[in-house]
Structures are given as C-alpha cells and as structure tokens.
Structure 1
Amino acid sequence: MTGQKGRGGLVGAIAAEWTKLWTVRSTWVALASTAALIIAYTVIAGGAARSAPADGSGGGLPTAPLDNLGTGVAFMGQFGVLALATMVMATEYSTGSIRSTLLWVPVRYRVLLAKCLVLFPVLFVSGLVLTPVGVGSAVAALGDAAQSVTAEDAVARAFAVGGYLAATGVIVVGIGAAVRSVAGTLTVGFLLMLVLPMTMQSTSVEFLSKAADYLPGPAGMHLMGVAENQAYGTPAAVGLLAIWAVAANVVGYCVLRSRDA
C-alpha cells in the first residue's frame, strides 16, 4: 500500500496526460505543422519585404527578423498549436475516451489542471526551440535587407513566443471542455484568436476597435512586440493572457461539472 502512495491524485493525472500526449502521432504532426507554418510565413514575408520598392510603397512589410517571426506566429503558427490543444481535450469527446479519463480521474478540476500542466511547458519549450528556427528562415529570406538581431532581443522574443503559444494551448483546452466538439473548438479558437480581433479592429466603431486589443490574439501580439498600436506593455499582455486562460478553464470546468461526460 505504501509503495503505491503518490501514484494517484494530480501527480497520477499528469503522468497519464503526459503519456497520452506523446503516444499519438498527431502531437508530432501538430508541432511539425507549427514549425512549417512559421517558416513558411517568415520566408514569404521576408521575400516580399526584400523585393518591396525602396520608396516604401510595398506595404510596409517588416525587415526585422524578430518581427517577421512574431507576425508569423500570430497569423499562422498558432493554429498548429490550436489543433494540438483541441486534440488534447475536445478529441476525447469525439472518440468517447473522455469516459475513461473521468473514470480514472474522478475529481473534475484535476482533469483540466493536469492537461494544462502538461501542455503549457511543452508548448513553451516548443516556442523557445522554434524562435531560432523562425529567425533563421527570416534572415535567409530577407537577405541583405535583414536588420541585425541582438542575442538579448532574440532571447526576450523566444520567451514571448513560448509564453504566447503556451497560453494559447491552455485557453483552447478550456474552450474544448466547454464546447465538447473538435469542429466547434477549432472554430471558436480560430474566431477568438484571429477573426474576431481583425473584424473588430477594422470597424469604424471606436469602442469595438479598442476592445479588440484585449482579446487573446492581440494580447499575444503585444507580448511579442508586433502589435500595430502598442496599446499596453508586456506585463499587461501577460496578465491578459493569464486572465483569458483562467476564464476559459473556469467555464470549461463549470460545463464539465454540470454535464459530465
């Protein structure tokens, strides 16, 4: 009996989620897709910026590799993470494996907490790893037009990218618990991270345009230093992402408690 102590509870739930995450091919596919999307964006944007006319009429594409990376994460790379986080939570409802999960971990909040505690560091480290890859592809695409990148700025951007990808994953886990559908989770995540902010920012209603800055997608762009208006700084961006992550999982937990499997 003593030898089995500590294998259950939150520790056991985390161990189970870790095993589930790394024993399916879709995890590797999603992470590889994230890398491919970021590289594709930085190469395309870098090539376009290098080819732009010198008079600035080419659309104002950034020649800073770190900015190319940040916009690549915001506009393309994060959707590989969205797919991975959807798999972690919502796919269990589509396959019916959520019944086994809830049987093994009957304390409902531990289910969400364990998934978040596994996914957050994985995505954070992925962001750290993908930053030099994205910067390298941006520098190669920009060629002589590339601005210099300092080690300090690169490290800071790596932490920002990792933090945003990790926060996105946690938010989507909460959405998945609330929506309980793969298609629904992907749709809500896509709308919340990109479509809704862009729509609100393009409107002539000033209140909606300003409110868009406080959605998770724009908060991530502020964190990565690529937001157009710089409405707030890094601490506020971190706080907003944390609030969205907690709010999404509180809603998911409430739905999980009330409707179960």
Structure 2
Amino acid sequence: MALIQVVRSEWTKVRSVTSTMWTLALAVVITIALGMLISALSNHEFDKMGEKERLSFDPTYISFAGMSLGQLAMIVFGVLVVSNEYGTGMIRTSLAAVPRRGTFLFSKIAVAAGLALVVGTITTFVAFFLGQSMLGPHRASIGDPHVLRAVIGGGLYMTLIAVFSMGVATMLRSSMLSLGILMPFFFLISNILGNVDATKKIGRFLPDQAGSKIMQVVTPVNDDSPYGPWGGLGIMALWVLAALVGGYAVLRERDA
C-alpha cells in the first residue's frame, strides 16, 4: 500500500475516534484556563514577592503553568492513538493491510505528531497572549528576546510528550498499563527526583524536566543545569527516539 494511502487511513482512524479528539480539546482548555488563572494570581501577588522571587519572575513561563496538567491529556492522546487498535483487535486488520510494520508505525506517528503539533502550537500561542493579558504591567511581549522561541517551543514540547507516549504504548500494547506507567513517571517520580537535593542531577535529565526548559525565558536563580533551552529539548527528543525505537522493535518482533 502506498505511503500516502496509509497516512490517509491513519488520519481517518484518529479523527473518527471520539476519545482521541476529546483529549486534545481537553489539553487545550486545561492549558489555557489554568495558565490564565496562575497568571492572574501572579499579578496579584507580585508586590508581595521577595527580591529573589522577582529576579526569577518569568511572565512567559507563568502563562504556561497549565502545561503541567495539559500534558496529561497529551499523554492520554498519544496512548489512545496506539492502544485503541489493540483494545478492539483492529490491529490485526491494520497489519494485514499494511504488512510493512515500519510504514505502519511511521504513518501513525506522522499523523498523530502533526495533529499534536498544530494543536500544541495554537494552544501555546493562545495561552501566552491570554496569560500576558492577566499579568497586567508585568507582562512580556512576543517581540521580547527569546519569548517567541519559548512559545514555539511549548508547542514542540506538547508534541514530543504525545509522541513519547505513543512509543511507550507501542511497546506495552495496553492503554491501562501504559497510563499506569506514564502517569506516575511524569507526575510523581519526575517531581520527586527533581526536587530532592540528592537526585536533582538525575531528575534534570528526565524528558519533561529537560524539555520544559525550552519554555523558560528567565533562568531561575538556583538553576545550574548543564544545558540550555535547545539542549533540554534535544535531551527530550532523545527520550522520544528511544521510545519509538523500542516500540518499533516490539511491533516488528511480536505478533499482533
């Protein structure tokens, strides 16, 4: 089957499953709404901040405060794009129609990643402008140094989160198992490792902590990470690549 036909088939699958589209919508709403709320609260509390807090005040990054929960929906999206077919048994039909498993996986990833990139980029731009409107005199401008990079980087971050989740789901072939690993990994393990002094040097190389640096314009006072914004995104991309390679290896070796 020609690649373009496989891509079209995957696009039909993604948009025809209600749950995947709802998770994307949820990612948009949560990221924007929570970002606006935190931005408004930050504006209200700015005068009460200490000198150290003001030096680390990053209006751009604050507008992405909703990303911590918005990425939850992107994880679910990535998992569902893959695991829905395993759950319904449609994976057998798909692989019978597309026996080249590399082509099958590439097409699925390309469609889901493209959709996540469009949604993620729109989300971060809207979150930025609405968040800045809540910050009043403390807001940043899209034309300020490094701000555009941070906004575009936010969309890339959301995309990589979704693709990483797809790679893990392809390896595990179960939505429950995939979410049971990914949720604690991002929302418990990563936070613990990143906030405990003894493990900070390890935590900073986890995908979410490294990747989120692309959204920072102001470097926190106590941040001694050995990489910059693009370096952090590069580390995250390596995690994504490893997950995809693992997913392809499992898909190639195991029966559907």
Taking structure 1 as the reference length, the TM-score comes to: 0.85
Aligned equivalent of 2:236: 241
Q: Distance in 2 between matches of 1:204 and 1:139?
A: 33
- In structure 2, the partner of 1:5 is none
Letter in 2 for 1:211: I
Per-residue deviation, 1:54: 1.9
Matched, 1:164 2:160: no
Counterpart CA distance in 2 for 1:148 and 1:247 is 36
Matches within 5 A, 1:207-246: 208-225=199-216, 228=220, 229=223, 231=225, 232-246=227-241
Q: Which runs of 5+ in 1 are unaligned?
A: 1-7
User: In 2, Cα distance between the equivalents of 1:185 and 1:203?
Assistant: 26
Q: Does 1:10 align with 2:25?
A: no
Matched, 1:29 2:22: yes
Report how far residue 47 of structure 1 moved.
2.4
Picking from 253, 257, 260, the partner of 2:248 is 253
Cα distance change on mapping 1:191 and 1:112 into 2, 3 Å: farther
Q: CA deviation at 1:153?
A: 4.2
In 2, the alpha carbon distance for the partners of 1:236 and 1:149 equals 22
1:46-104 superposed Cα distances (whole Å, 9 cap, x missing partner): 122122262316x949764421233322x111112111111110122112221112111
Q: 1:53 to 1:64 in 2, by over 3 A?
A: closer
What is the number of equivalent residue pairs in this alignment?
A: 251
Take 1:11 and 1:118, find their aligned partners in 2: how far apart are those partners? 11
Distance in 2, Cα, partners of 1:176 & 1:184: 8
Q: Distance in 2 between matches of 1:87 and 1:194?
A: 19
1:230 Cα shift?
5.7
For 1:1-261, list aligned pairs within 5 A. 8-52=1-45, 54-56=47-49, 60=53, 64-73=58-67, 75-150=68-143, 153-205=146-198, 208-225=199-216, 228=220, 229=223, 231=225, 232-261=227-256
Give me the whole-angstrom Cα distance separating, in 2, the residues matched to 1:128 and 1:260: 36
Q: Let me know the Cα RMSD of the aligned residues.
A: 2.5
Q: State the AA in 2 paired with 1:80.
A: A
Report the 3-state secondary structure (helix = DSSP H, G, I; strand = E; otherwise coil) of the residue aligned with 1:52.
Answer: helix
Question: Conserved in 2, the CA contact under 8 Å of 1:10 and 1:114?
Answer: yes
Deviates more, 1:62-71 or 1:82-91: 62-71
Secondary structure (helix, strand or coil) at the match of 1:27 reads helix
1:192 partner amino acid: F
